Amino acid sequence: MNLSTIIQGKAYVLGDNIDTDQIIPAQYLTFNPSIPEEYKMFGKYALAGVPPAQGGLPKGHIPLHGPANEFVSPYSIIIAGRNFGCGSSREHAPVALDAAGIKAVVAEFYARIFFRNSVNGGYLIPLESVKRLCETVCTGDELRLDAIAGRLENLTSNETYELKPLGEVAPILEAGGVFPYARAKGLLKA
């Protein structure tokens, strides 16, 4: 993962308290993410457990994917409210979002275990917003995210939002996760 790269893509907006059982429901945990064909299935079922009322969308729930045979979402940045990734310590949650093509999540704050699983695996960039964005940004808005500068631009509405710095997790994300980071620093044998 190269944190200096700008992520540009469509927003997918969610509300508060999106838990790991909603991100990847338990019935889909039979797939093995180390098998490429099964890894795709995590992407197919990412956010399958989010009820329409919890999506925080003014016009009802819009599915993350298009047709049933789609594995990768047309959305690349999730905008969420408070407590994203709460619930169980399911490490498959960031895997599912990564498999769906999500590059970053911008939330007001995270459940710590989801945040750490995202960083440790190098699956996606978890950023925190300075102000509540899930009521400002709309699903489908075109966004440009600069994780290092801590800036999110909504190209659709022509607004710019400040994000909290990544801090000490930036080098771990840059390395691609905690194990590649540890190897690069000589903390693990290659």
Alpha-carbon distance values, 82 to 30, 56, 106, 130, 176 (Å): 29, 12, 10, 12, 26
Distance CA 184, CA 187 (A): 8
Which stretches within 24-91 are classed as H helix?
Answer: 36-44
User: Has residue 61 got a pLDDT over 60?
Assistant: no
Please state the separation of Cα 41 from the chain's center in Å.
17
Lowest mean pLDDT among 8-17, 87-96, 119-128: 87-96
* pLDDT given at position 54: 60
First vs last Cα of the chain: how many Å apart? 19
Query: Dihedrals φ, ψ of 179, to 5°?
Result: -70, -45
What structural domains and CATH numbers belong to the chain?
7-184 (3.20.19.10)
The whole-number pLDDT of residue 5 equals 78
The Cα 165–Cα 6 span in angstroms is 15
Does 62 have pLDDT greater than 70?
Answer: no
pLDDT value for 164? 97
SS3 of 147, please? coil
Place of tokens 């989010």: 50
Average pLDDT value for residue range 61-83:
79
pLDDT band at residue 67 under the 50/70/90 scheme: low
What residue spans of 3-153 are helical by DSSP H? 20-23, 36-44, 92-99, 112-121
Convert the pLDDT of each residue in 129-188 to its tens digit.
Answer: 999 999 999 999 999 999 999 999 999 999 999 999 999 999 999 999 999 999 999 988
Which tokens belong to 38? 């099964």
What pLDDT does residue 68 have? 61
Report the predicted TM-score, pTM, of the whole model to 2 decimal places: 0.91
Based on its alpha-carbon atoms, the radius of gyration of the chain, rounded to whole angstroms, reads 16
In this model, does residue 60 exceed pLDDT 60?
Answer: no
User: Three-state DSSP class for 64?
Assistant: coil
At residue 59, does pLDDT exceed 50?
Answer: no
Q: What is the pLDDT of residue 34?
A: 92
CA angle 157, 101, 35 (to 5 degrees): 175
Q: How confident is the model at residue 3 (pLDDT cuts 50, 70, 90)?
A: confident
Residue 8's pLDDT is what? 97
- The average confidence (pLDDT) of the chain is 89
User: How much is the pLDDT for 72?
Assistant: 86
